Amino acid sequence: METKRVMTFEEAATYMGMSKSCLYKMTSQKIVPHYKPNGKMIFFDREELEAYLLSVRIKPQSEIAEVASTYVVTGKYKRA
C-alpha cells in the first residue's frame, strides 16, 4: 500500500488506522480531502492523507521548555 497513490475508502481507513464509520463521517463533513469521480465511490490520495495526518503537530515538553528558557533569557519569543 505504501507505493499505491490512490486508495479506496477501505484502504484509506486501514491506512489511517480508523474505523470506516469515523472516516465516512469525516468525508461527509469535508474534514479530510477526498475524491468522488463517479459521484458514489470515494477515493483518497495517499500524500494528501499523510499531510492531513501530520497537519497539527503537538510540541514535546522539551521544545516548550527550550522556547520558555529563550524567552526568559532574551525577552524575545522564538518559535522552535
Residue 13 lies in a domain: yes
Does position 80 have pLDDT exceeding 90, yes or no? no
Find the domain containing 61 and state its range: 6-74
Question: Which residues are CB-contacts of 7 (< 8 A; sequence separation ≥ 6)?
Answer: 1, 15, 43, 44, 45, 46, 49
C-alpha cell at 47: 500524500
Residue 46 lies in a domain: yes
pLDDT in tens, 40-76: 899 999 999 999 999 988 989 998 888 888 888 887 7
Give the CATH number of the domain where residue 13 resides.
Answer: 1.10.1660
Residue 79 lies in a domain: no
Question: Which residues are CB-contacts of 13 (< 8 A; sequence separation ≥ 6)?
Answer: 19, 20, 22, 23
Confidence of residue 3 (pLDDT cuts 50, 70, 90): confident
Coil, helix or strand for 35? Answer: strand
CB 9 within 8 A of CB 42: yes
pTM: 0.74
pLDDT in tens, 18-49: 999 999 999 999 999 999 999 889 999 999 99
